[in-house]
Amino acid sequence: MLINDLVGVVGLDHCLTDPDLRAGYEVDWTGRYRGQTPAVVRPGSIEELSGVMALCHGAGQPVVVQGGNTGMVGGSVPLAGEVVVSIARLGNVQVLSDSAARAGAGATLARVQEAASSIGASFGVDTAARDSATIGGMIATNAGGMNVVRFGPMGDQLLDAGVVLADGRYLPSLQEVDPGDPTHALLPLLAGSEGILAVVAHATLQIDIDPPTTAVALIEVPPDRLVSLASDVQDLSSVYAMELFGAREVALAAAGIGRSAPLRAEWLLLVECRSESDPSAELAAVVGDLPAVVAPNPTAGDELWLFREALTEAVSRRGVPHKFDVRMPHAALSDVRSRVEGVVPGGAVYLWGHAYSNRHGEPVANLHINILGEVDDEAVFDAVEGLGGSVAAEHGVGTAKRHRVAGARSDLDQLRALKDRLDPAGILNPGVLLPPA
Ligand code: MLT
């Protein structure tokens, strides 16, 4: 009955019930999280999205919202028989000015970047998954990405959003909601709320005109210089990216892309600076006498980036990795690899991530620890927390970490209170983010 009604809203072609057509929506990108859904519904307009949510609300039918399905924490696949609401068709992008663009929730990051670049600008949150990751999903997880040192995470770039609530009501602008309305609290909590409060329909995003000159360097860092070098790089007014990985990861990427590793130290920093006037000299001053490969031109800079951007796919080609996306203080970085290796004796550990300062000015890194082989997840979480880290950074909590979320998020009471008001029946992404009451 509900399925027929959903077909009535989105049409037969966009309400998928055939097992073969549903299959790709029932498993996440890593292949680790797999469930089943009665239907995948793909609204093609906000009216249709509203209609779908109103019907599911009326029927008490839980839904899971899915963007590009690049999530890694089991937060957007139907693990408990939810209807999948795919936002992929809500993909329009429009540049509004030289500092703002409006994107449908289903727009891929690549489409947003393409639109921004048409006026010589870019969007400040960028990840290697740009061809698939959608703006809605990136808001849901508060993605940080490779320019987080410059622009902060998704929430810092979110100027406004239009959402559809669990009962199907459409709010075209959260900015314009009356302060007395409970939904006024939604905009500041939206980034990182993992689809439990509302379905993002579209977002207004900050974009920034690109500075004309770029310098990129890959630097070998002795473990005892890691903290001070990261701090010096962070202080550069031209810094755009500060990516951390090591010889093990470079070798993995190099094999994946068929090149030879440019450097082989235990720790490497990939730094990109951009500025109105050539930032090479200030980058060179920070590198000092450390061994480094400095890109002589933008093409060579892109080549260095390949060793970082190829990592996710390279590790997945070797198996289904256990993914731990954690936040570590800089002071713990040089110990994290050995601590994690110590608790997964049978596993191959790869780690990489983004170093930056968080909103409290604390130097941290969003580290992606990927492990192939036998892993006791709790032991890894314990090791991370034992070093003062937190078990969730920018991939979200999903279903994978909700039992440990208390140590990772300080806004749970606010989220739960707003969820109780906006979705009292709990149909939006149940089982995600919030620990059981
Ligand atoms: C990345 O930034 O490379 C990915 O989000 C991390 C991962 O694949 O674990």
* Mean pLDDT to the nearest integer, 291-318: 95
Is residue 370 in contact with ligand 1, taking CB distance under 6 Å?
yes
The model's confidence at residue 431, banded by pLDDT at 50, 70 and 90, is very high
pLDDT at 101: 98
Stated length of the chain = 437
**pLDDT tens digits for range 11-24:** 999 999 999 999 99
Which pLDDT does position 330 carry in this prediction? 93
Rounded to a whole number of angstroms, the distance between the first and last alpha carbons of the chain is 31
- Which pLDDT score is estimated for 30? 83
For ligand 1, atom 3, the nearest C-alpha belongs to 312
Mean pLDDT over all residues of the chain?
A: 96
- Per-residue confidence (pLDDT) for residue 355, from 0 to 100: 94
Q: Calculate what percentage of the chain has a pLDDT beyond 70.
A: 100
Q: What is the pLDDT of residue 134?
A: 98
Which atom of ligand 1 is found nearest the CA of 127? 2
Establish whether residue 128 lines the binding site of ligand 1, counting it when its CB lies within 6 angstroms of any ligand atom: yes
pLDDT of residue 196: 98
**Residue 437: is its pLDDT beyond 80?**
no
Q: What atom in ligand 1 is closest to the CA of residue 316?
A: 8
CA of 395 to the centre of ligand 1 (A): 8
Nearest ligand 1 atom to alpha carbon 321: 9
Write the pLDDT tens digit of every residue in 353-392.
999 988 888 899 999 999 999 999 999 999 999 999 999 9
- Is the CB–ligand 1 distance for residue 311 below 6 Å? yes
Choosing from 322, 368, 370, 395 the residue with most ligand 1 atoms within 8 A of its CB, the one to mutate for a pocket test is 368
What's the pLDDT at 408? 87
Check pLDDT > 90 for residue 352: yes
pLDDT of residue 360: 86
